[in-house]
Copies of this chain bind each other. A is one copy, B any other.
């Protein structure tokens, strides 16, 4: 990955992308959500080069997104399963899928529909919401320094805020 790691330290997106933003990685995780567990499953479904699959699986295991467990008690062969950290990517994956469904499949419609298993009801679109469930648009959001903000981040957010006020004539 030739991308600079410089000063990505204080950005969750940059840190997340260092882990799961590499070529193939999100497709591997999609496969994992679809039920793939074994090396050959991933390889055959995705058509990914075997050496790349090796390095991706290793990285995902090292970082705790997947775990490598023996296929049976005491077996030497293993399989790759989502951990809680991996399962926690579901909202991201679904949000991305819905975006693709909406903007990139205008002809034929979504290839896969997600439904609640128990009821068969389609799920809602993933949205950004208040804690009491009102949907928010980009313009309704503001960003403020969190507990892990650096001085640099704080300064950046201050600049954003004043640019926003200026544009809205305040």
Distance in angstroms from A41 CB to nearest chain B CB is: 11
Identify which of residues 89-145 in chain A touch chain B, using a CB-to-CB cut-off of 8 Å: 89-105, 107-131, 133, 136-145
Given the interface pairs A91-B126, A117-B141, the reply to whether A13 lies near B111 with Cβ below 8 Å is no
A139 (CB) vs chain B CBs: closest residue: B117
Interchain CB contact under 8 A, B156 and A110: no
Out of B14, B92, B147, which one reaches A109, CB within 8 Å?
A: B147
Determine if B27 and A146 form an interchain contact, defined as CB atoms under 8 angstroms apart. no
- Does A149 interact with chain B (Cβ within 8 Å)? yes
The yes or no answer to A153 lying at the interface (CB within 8 A) is yes
Q: How far is the CA of A143 from the CA of B138 in the complex (A)?
A: 29
| Chain B residues with CB below 8 A from A144, complex form | 112-113, 115
Nearest CB in chain B to that of A142: its residue:
B117
Q: At the interface, yes or no: A157 with Cβ under 8 Å from chain B? A: yes
**A93→B13 contact, CB < 8 A:** yes
Complex CA–CA separation, A55 to B157 (angstroms): 27
Answer yes or no: A2 CB below 8 A from chain B CBs.
yes
Is A6 an interface position by the 8 A CB rule? yes
**A45's closest neighbor in chain B, by CB?**
B156
Per the bound structure, the CA–CA distance linking A96 and B105 in Å amounts to: 23
Q: How far is the CB of A44 from chain B (nearest CB, A)?
A: 11
- A121: chain B residues at CB < 8 Å are 130-131
Which chain B positions have C-beta within 8 A of A71? none
A-B contact pairs, 11 of them (CB 8 A): A13-B26, A91-B98, A108-B147, A110-B147, A112-B145, A114-B143, A115-B144, A116-B142, A118-B140, A122-B131, A133-B133
